[in-house]
Amino acid sequence: MKVAVTGADGFIGSHLVEALVRAGADVVAMAQYNSVGSWGWLEDLPADVLDGVEVRLGDLRDAGTTSSALAGASVVYHLGALIAVPYSFDAPRSYVETNVLGTQNVLEAVRRESSRLVHTSTSEVYGSALSVPISEDHPLQAQSPYAATKIAADKLVESYVAAYGVRAVTVRPFNTYGPRQSARAFIPAVMAQALAGRTTVRVGSLSPRRDLTFVADTVAAFRAVGELDDDPWNGATFNAGTGSSWSMGHVLHEIARVVGVHLDVDTDAERVRPPAAEVRHLECDASRLRAATGWEARSSLREGLEATRAWMAEPRHFGSYKPDLHQV
């Protein structure tokens, strides 16, 4: 089966491409165009996997390159997006253009092709939890421009299902982490500093709680949804998370144990979100996904951190991180 993945050059997208190829799919990987021809994290895939991938450089904001990349795909996994919450306060228009208009371009392409669409949302659309665990019926609360654009994209998918009969489902992952994640996120930012020998690490707030899902489990959720029978392709939304949450302070302690060091903390004001923008607590209710597909997260936090440390410690991977630079 021919499938297409947008955002294939990114963290989760590259892992999904690898899993789909290993499962026997014919994969078209849409990556962000750049003048040096970089394929992003796709270049980290083994050669035998890349042999099964057709890489197409383009831009979600451009309807032509998007339509061309997705042509002929039976299923489109739409992961392409601008994702960093802090940067969305600096460049909100970019997030509207990529996350909202880009999603519209994807929807028009799948509408013409009669493809099925697996659309990627985010737990950030729920804002700070009003109740936990968070089900798909929890109110949507935009506490950042990023979250607002993802809500808008989700609603666009909903409208294309209702108005045009597009066959689509939405996956809402909760805080995925693991190999290939950029240092804008808490775990790789702290781990990079620890692996570089820093005994005092610069961090933001340590009180927010997150449901941390290892990337292999998130990818398994995407695949499980993408392989559903016809009935659920009616705009259904599925949360994907572990059902447990941890404070960032606890996670920092676990990173120190995994790396084998003692870490002191220096709170960096630049890494602290404005109080009204900070999502305080995210904890997933994935019972709908479990009932529909049998999926459940299998990796413990310790196992996921161990796998992340082993990957990051390899010189060719660690060289892509800048431990002393705050990346938004």
**Is 160 annotated as catalytic?**
no
Find the helix or strand (DSSP H, E) in which 173 lies. strand 167-173
DSSP-derived secondary structure for 54-106: EEEEE-TT-HHHHHHHHTT-SEEEE------HHHHHH-HHHHIIIIIIHHHHH
Are 9 and 31 within 8 A, CB to CB? yes
DSSP-derived secondary structure for 224-288: HHHT--STTTTT-EEEE--S--EEHHHHHHHHHHHHT---EEEE-GGGSPPTTT---B--B--HH
Find the helix or strand (DSSP H, E) in which 149 lies. helix 145-164
State the Cα–Cα distance between residues 283 and 129, nearest whole angstrom.
8
Number of H helices and E strands in the chain, helices first, is: 13, 13
Which amino acid, 68? S
Task: Compute φ and ψ for 252, nearest 5 degrees.
Answer: -60, -45
Q: 236 to each of 162, 171, 321, how far by Cα in Å?
A: 12, 9, 37
| Options 95, 146, 177, 321, the catalytic residue | 146
The most distant pair of C-alpha atoms in the chain lies apart, rounded to whole Å, by: 56
Which amino acid, 17? V
316: number of Cβ within 10 Å: 7
Token pair for residue 11?
A: 């963290």
* Catalytic residue positions, numbered: 146
